[in-house]
Amino acid sequence: MSRLTIIVAATKSNGIGQNSTLPWRLPREMKYFAQVTTTAPPGHSNAVIMGRNTWESIPEKYRPLPRRVNIVTSRNENYMLNSSPNTPLYLHTTLASALARLNTPSTTDRPIHRAFVIGGASLYSESLALSPSSSPTVVDRILLTRILSPDFDQCDVFMPDFLGQGTEKRWDRASHEELEAWVGFKVPEGEQEENGIKYEFQMWTRDP
Ligand code: FOL
């Protein structure tokens, strides 16, 4: 069984977006996102899986996200993606088919080290609902950047409340040392502040 990691920045009420964009501008947090999703052993790449709305929300000059295999899901099989010479980019009409690609190494791409679901709300929900009985791939880790303040109560898109939900699959918060060991680099601990916005880097795991 292969594993997926969700990476997300969310307020305490799980707000993740507003007007088709991120509600905040946090350059250092964005660097963390880029470093986490890019870091892979020599000769390997990570994959980032995203829904069509998230793809469109990424500034054109940053997409496809460099040094990562980009997989976009859209029910519209004719959806047009503008590729970039060196960055692998794939369109899949379902999450299951996107995941099948991960488990079927292509001869042209480098081997995949880790796969990240990078949003948005629909893909977070759909991937969190994958269960070992029906899917060869499940989410067992969430890299959550918790936006502590302000509240951003104008958010119009939310991630599912994974902590308050269900009883069978319990999410546990990992220690900061475990977070650093997993991402493979030093991460600032405790409350961070950028542009007057307070946040914290967290990692949550569950048994598959
Ligand atoms: N997870 C976290 N922790 N923070 C986020 O901002 C975030 N954003 C998304 C998904 N998970 C996240 C989706 N939105 C870029 C823009 C929007 C976006 C994801 C990525 C982007 O432009 N990324 C560039 C970094 C550019 C820079 O350094 O400013 C990249 O190379 O990753």
Q: How far is the CA of 30 from the centre of ligand 1 (A)?
A: 5
Summarised one tens digit per residue, pLDDT across range 66-87 is 999 999 999 998 888 877 888 8
In the chain, helix, strand, coil percent, each to 5?
Answer: 20, 35, 45
Please report the pLDDT score of residue 104 as a whole number: 83
Across the chain, mean pLDDT equals 93
Decide: 140 and 3 in contact? Cβ < 8 Å. yes
Please report the pLDDT score of residue 164 as a whole number: 77
Q: What is the CATH number of the domain that holds 47?
A: 3.40.430.10
Distance spanning both ends of the chain, measured CA to CA: 9
Q: What is the number of structural domains in the chain? A: 1
Distance CA 57, CA 50 (A): 11
Question: What is the model's pTM?
Answer: 0.96
2-9 mean pLDDT: 96
* pLDDT category of residue 106 using cuts at 50, 70 and 90: confident
Distance CA 152, CA 143 (A): 20
**Ligand 1 atom 20: the closest Cα is on which residue?**
58
CA dihedral 83, 32, 155, 199 (to 10 degrees): 180
Is 119's C-beta closer than 6 angstroms to any atom of ligand 1?
yes
Could you tell me the residue range of the domain that residue 158 belongs to? 2-205
Beta-bridge partner residues of 149: 198
Which residue of 6, 19, 33, 157 sits with most ligand 1 atoms within 8 Å of its CB, as the best mutation to test the pocket?
33
Summarised one tens digit per residue, pLDDT across range 19-61 is 999 999 999 999 999 999 999 999 999 999 999 999 999 999 9
Residue of 157, 150, 145 lying closest to 28 (CA atoms): 145
